[in-house]
Amino acid sequence: MVYYERNLPHYLPEGYAYFITTRLAGTIPKVIYEKIKREYEQGLEMISSLKNNKIQRNKYHELQRINFTKYENILDDCKYGHKWLGENRIAQIVNDALHYYDGKRYDLISFTIMPNHIHLVLFPIVERKSSFAQSKGKDIDSQNESGDSFYILSKIMQDIKKYTSREANKILKRKGKFWQHESYDHVVRDQKELRRIVKYILNNPVKAGLCEDIDEWEWNYFNPKYLA
């Protein structure tokens, strides 16, 4: 299991799909963000005091759901910050970047591009250390105890954001921060949860009042082979 941290803890067990949400910079005011963060940290502290592991896990997943919903409701309202992803040229840049890394760094399951944030579900690709080094000709980013190397989510999102922010800023004729550094990520535990999350992602534009049917939203995508 990989662990990394910026503002919130992230635990990344290998062999699972991940549900990721990332947003444009400035789309949640700092005072609101800090309030939600404090509430989340208080919830984590309460959960850590529980003795029963099963109850701990259930409480943790419920806390994640509540925490995510708080952020999502603010983003869907689009009351704060820019809505650059609502411009077709910029949405196309993000769309193309997500597809570009498909089969290279991850297997892409689903995504939707909203005016101020994106939802994404993927399987990080795991490769043997030797074959990875030979094919890429680069240093290994990280490796597990068995010697496998893999792209963790922080590296995947860093590269996607770096490219798309540069290209989007060219179109916008601006400089400066485009994406928020922090992303929300959630381990998809089983096929049932995967179907539920993909359904949620594809329905997000409908929920936000951007279209009436999921098929109308140009920036929805899913690979049906993962939902069989």
Q: What is the pLDDT of residue 225?
A: 86
- For 18-77, the pLDDT digits (tens) are 999 999 999 999 999 999 999 999 999 999 999 888 999 899 889 988 998 998 889 988
Residue 140, pLDDT > 70, answer: no
In this structure, which amino acid lies at residue 40?
A: Y
Distance CA 10, CA 212 (A): 35
The length of the chain in residues reads 228
Half-sphere exposure of 93 (CA within 13 A, CB side): 19
Q: What is the per-residue burial (b if ≥16 Cβ within 10 Å, else e) of 159-189?
A: ebbebbbebbbeeeeeeeebbbeebbbbebe
- The reported pLDDT for the residue numbered 65 is 87
pLDDT value of residue 214: 94
Q: What beta strand segments (E) does the chain contain? A: 2-5, 9-12, 17-23, 106-113, 117-124, 126-128, 148-150, 184-188, 220-222
Q: What does pLDDT average to over the chain? A: 83
Phi, psi of 31, deg, nearest 5: -65, -35
- Mean pLDDT calculated for residue range 206-228: 91
pTM of the model: 0.79
Q: Are 188 and 107 in contact (CB under 8 A)?
A: no
- The pLDDT, as a whole number, for residue 196 is 92
